[in-house]
Structure 1
Amino acid sequence: MKRIRVGLVDDSAIVRQVVAELLSRAADVELIFTAADPIFAMGKMQDQWPDVLVLDIEMPRMDGLTFLRKIMAERPTPVVICSSLTAHGARVTMDALAAGAFAIITKPKLGVREFLQDASSELLGAVRAAAAANIACLHREIARPVAPAAAAPRKVLTAPYKPAGKIVAIGTSTGGTLALERILREMPAECPALLIVQHMPEKFTAAFAERLDSICAPQIREAQDGDRVQPGLALIAPGARHMQLIRVASGYAVSVADGPPVNRHKPSVDVLFRSVARELSANALGIIMTGMGDDGARGLREMFDAGAHTIAQDEASCVVYGMPKEAVRLGGVAEQIPLDQIASRILELA
Structure 2
Amino acid sequence: MSKIKVLVVDDSLTMRGLISAALKSDPEIEVVGTAADPIEARAAIKELNPDVLTLDVEMPNMNGLEFLEKIMRLRPMPVVMVSTLTAAGTDVTLAALEIGAVDAVAKPAVASADAFQELIGKVKTAARSRVRARADMPASAAAPTAYRPAANHVLAIGSSTGGVEALLTVLSGFPADCPATVITQHMPATFTSSFAARLDRVCAPKVAEAVDGAPLQQGHIYLAPGGAAHLEVTSGMTPRCRLVASEPVNGHRPSVDVLFESVARLGRPMTGVILTGMGRDGAKGLMAMRDAGARTLGQDEATSVVYGMPRAAFQLGAVERQLPLHRLSPAILELCAHSGARSIA
Task: State TM-score, norm by structure 1.
Answer: 0.86
Counterparts of 1:343 and 1:273 in 2: how far apart (Å)? 19
| Contact 2:232/2:258 (8 A) holds in 1 | yes
Are positions 1:307 and 2:281 aligned together?
A: no
SS of corresponding position for 1:311: strand
**Counterpart for residue 342 of structure 2:** none
**Counterpart for residue 80 of structure 1:** 80
| Contact 1:244/1:272 (8 A) holds in 2 | yes
Q: 1:16 to 1:73 in 2, by over 3 A?
A: same
Are positions 1:243 and 2:239 aligned together?
A: no
Deviation at 1:163, TM superposition (A): 10
Which residue identity is paired with 2:327?
Q
Counterparts of 1:270 and 1:146 in 2: how far apart (Å)? 27
**Counterpart for residue 200 of structure 1:** 187
Which residue identity is paired with 1:281?
G
**Counterpart for residue 7 of structure 2:** 7
Runs of 4+ more than 4 Å apart:
144-149
SS of corresponding position for 1:263: coil
Are positions 1:18 and 2:18 aligned together?
A: yes
What are the equivalent positions in structure 2 for 1:1-350 lying under 5 Å apart? 1-84=1-84, 86-87=87-88, 90-110=90-110, 112-117=112-117, 119=118, 123-136=119-132, 140-141=136-137, 144=138, 164-240=151-227, 241-247=229-235, 250-278=237-265, 280-281=266-267, 283-350=269-336
Which residue identity is paired with 2:54?
V
Deviation at 1:194, TM superposition (A): 0.8
Counterparts of 2:278 and 2:126 in 1: how far apart (Å)? 10
Counterparts of 2:213 and 2:57 in 1: how far apart (Å)? 35
Q: 1:138 to 1:171 in 2, by over 3 A?
A: farther
Counterparts of 1:53 and 1:335 in 2: how far apart (Å)? 34
Larger mean CA deviation between 186-195 and 325-334 belongs to: 325-334
SS of corresponding position for 1:317: coil
Deviation at 1:347, TM superposition (A): 1.1
| Contact 2:141/2:327 (8 A) holds in 1 | no
| Contact 1:209/1:236 (8 A) holds in 2 | yes
Q: 1:197 to 1:127 in 2, by over 3 A?
A: same
Q: 1:342 to 1:148 in 2, by over 3 A?
A: closer
Q: 1:137 to 1:322 in 2, by over 3 A?
A: farther
| Contact 1:100/1:139 (8 A) holds in 2 | no
State the superposition RMSD in angstroms.
2.5
Deviation at 1:95, TM superposition (A): 0.4
SS of corresponding position for 1:47: helix
Q: 1:55 to 1:243 in 2, by over 3 A?
A: same
Which residue identity is paired with 1:134?
R
Q: 1:164 to 1:147 in 2, by over 3 A?
A: closer
Q: For this pair of structures, how many residues does the alignment match? A: 329
Counterparts of 1:97 and 1:313 in 2: how far apart (Å)? 18
Counterparts of 2:133 and 2:296 in 1: how far apart (Å)? 23
Q: Structure 1, unaligned stretches of length 5 or more?
A: 150-161
Deviation at 1:36, TM superposition (A): 2.9
Deviation at 1:107, TM superposition (A): 3.7
Counterparts of 2:135 and 2:47 in 1: how far apart (Å)? 24
Deviations 1:17-62 (A, max 9, x none): 2321232233432211112332332343342232210112233443
SS of corresponding position for 1:115: helix
| Contact 1:138/1:175 (8 A) holds in 2 | no
Q: 1:260 to 1:140 in 2, by over 3 A?
A: farther
Q: By percentage of residues, which structure has more helix?
A: 1
Counterparts of 1:63 and 1:113 in 2: how far apart (Å)? 24
| Contact 1:138/1:178 (8 A) holds in 2 | no
**Counterpart for residue 343 of structure 2:** none
Which residue identity is paired with 1:247?
S
Deviations 1:100-122 (A, max 9, x none): 111122343235543224x2xxx
Counterparts of 1:170 and 1:70 in 2: how far apart (Å)? 31
Deviations 1:94-144 (A, max 9, x none): 000111111122343235543224x2xxx3332223222221276634xx5
Identical residues among aligned pairs (%): 47
| Contact 2:18/2:111 (8 A) holds in 1 | no
Counterparts of 2:204 and 2:11 in 1: how far apart (Å)? 39
**Counterpart for residue 339 of structure 2:** none
Deviation at 1:145, TM superposition (A): 5.6
Q: Structure 2, unaligned stretches of length 5 or more?
A: 144-148, 337-345
Counterparts of 2:111 and 2:51 in 1: how far apart (Å)? 29
Larger mean CA deviation between 232-241 and 106-115 belongs to: 106-115
Counterparts of 2:134 and 2:61 in 1: how far apart (Å)? 27
Deviation at 1:148, TM superposition (A): 12
SS of corresponding position for 2:235: strand
Task: State TM-score, norm by structure 2.
Answer: 0.87
| Contact 1:163/1:229 (8 A) holds in 2 | no
